[in-house]
Amino acid sequence: MVKQHKKWSRKRKIWTVATTLVVIVGAAVLGAGGYFFHVAEVRAEKDFVGSGLVSKKNPLYPQQQKWLAADTKTWHLKAKDGTKLVGSYLPATQATNKTVIVIHGFGVDHKAMAPYGEMFHRMGYNVLMPDNRAAGKSEGKYIGYGYLDAKDYKGWINEVIAKNGKQSQITVMGASMGGATTMMLSGMNPPKQVQAYVEDSGYTSVADELHYEAGNMYGLPDWLANILIPVVSGYSKVLAGYSYGEADAEKLLAQNKRPMLFIHGDNDKFVPTKFLKPVYEASNGPKEKYLVPGAAHVESYRTDPVKYEATVQKFLNMYFK
């Protein structure tokens, strides 16, 4: 009887230790997931992201300054969840039905896309450049990573149509997270007035990008990233309203049948160049890709401004009159 009691006592100790370890590991995983969710998704200054504005030495500096000095109009939009969004609009020099909506990336606001806005304005387009939710003058606590933003941009598209008329011809262009937003939007059945897309340096999915950055920025091994990313996605679903399984550009692109130009630098170490192939292959509409030699992340325009502009204009000229 004494031996049996000791045997059960040992088993209880083993189970107690095992349970304690599980609780500790679980708490550590949840804590780490909460930390990475805050870094990735909660609106705050990100020390690993600059303002997005280019310096005087950058060949795009004149375009940036010209846009920033332009007499833009402020547009307002209330998202379906009540978030108040703000955008800057500059009508074309000559009246036109052509409008481009330009989407910025992670951790910056619309001013980071100033050179692109100036480029399109010079090409004769009306230009709308909103601040994404949780950026710039727009409201929002959580970054949408392209998924929530794509839904917001359907609202901006409707706003263009309401203000400029049903005859509007619209293109959507975005870079980095804005490129992913553009791709996700293409699979959400936007209004027929959207006739073409240009995406620059977008990722395949939020899960893929965060998994890559877990190793690139934090040195986490794949096995640990495979544990943490679903946890961070769970935080996102509960707090921000979307999971990383939903925020999948590659999956949504399969629903797109409209023209898209895919641009990527072949030296991109932030949204790796390898992401270009799967998103390009996923789209089911007319498509072209422009791989820029030597260009780092969202550096394709700066690397070869003349060819970049010519490539974009030639592509859009096939679909806009």
Q: Is the dihedral of CA 215, 220, 223, 229 positive or negative?
A: negative
Could you tell me the pLDDT band of residue 6, with boundaries at 50, 70 and 90? low
Which residue is listed with tokens 């917001």?
152
Residue 5 or 186, more confident: 186
Tens-place pLDDT, residues 51-96? 889 999 999 999 999 999 999 999 999 999 999 999 999 999 999 9
CA 297 – CA 36 distance, rounded (Å):
22
pLDDT at residue 10, rounded to an integer: 58
What is the C-alpha separation between 242 and 247, in angstroms, rounded? 7
pLDDT at 169 exceeding the cut of 50: yes
* Per-residue model confidence (pLDDT) at position 34: 85
pLDDT band at 22; cut points 50, 70, 90: very low
Give 110-148 pLDDT, tens digit per residue. 999 999 999 999 999 999 999 999 999 999 999 999 999
Residue 199 DSSP symbol = E
Helices (H), the chain: 2-41, 61-68, 114-122, 147-164, 177-186, 206-218, 222-239, 249-253, 276-282, 300-303, 305-317
Give the largest CA-CA distance in the chain.
Answer: 98
Q: Give the other-Cβ count within 10 Å of 73's Cβ.
A: 11
Q: Tell which residue, 140, 173, 177, 135, has the closest CA to residue 157.
A: 173
Question: E strands within 206-320?
Answer: 260-265, 287-292
Averaged pLDDT for residues 269-285 = 97
How much is the pLDDT for 18? 45
Grouping H, G, I as helix, E, B as strand and the rest as coil, residue 274 is: helix
241-267 pLDDT, tens per residue? 999 999 999 999 999 999 999 999 999
Q: Which fold has domain 56-205+247-317?
A: Rossmann fold (3.40.50)
- What is the percent of the chain with per-residue pLDDT over 90, rounded to a whole number? 81
pLDDT of residue 52: 87
Residues forming beta bridges with residue 170, ordered by sequence position: 99, 194
Residue 16: its H or E element: helix 2-41
Averaged pLDDT score across all residues of the chain: 91
Interatomic CA distance for residues 246 and 149, integer angstroms: 13
What is the model's pLDDT at position 160?
A: 98
Q: What percent of the chain has pLDDT over 70?
A: 91
Q: Is the pTM of this model over 0.95?
A: no
Dist. CA 234–CA 151, nearest whole Å? 20
The better pLDDT of the pair 80, 39 is held by: 80
Residue 281 pLDDT level (bands cut at 50, 70, 90) = very high
SS (H, E, C) 204-239: CEHHHHHHHHHHHHHCCCHHHHHHHHHHHHHHHHHH
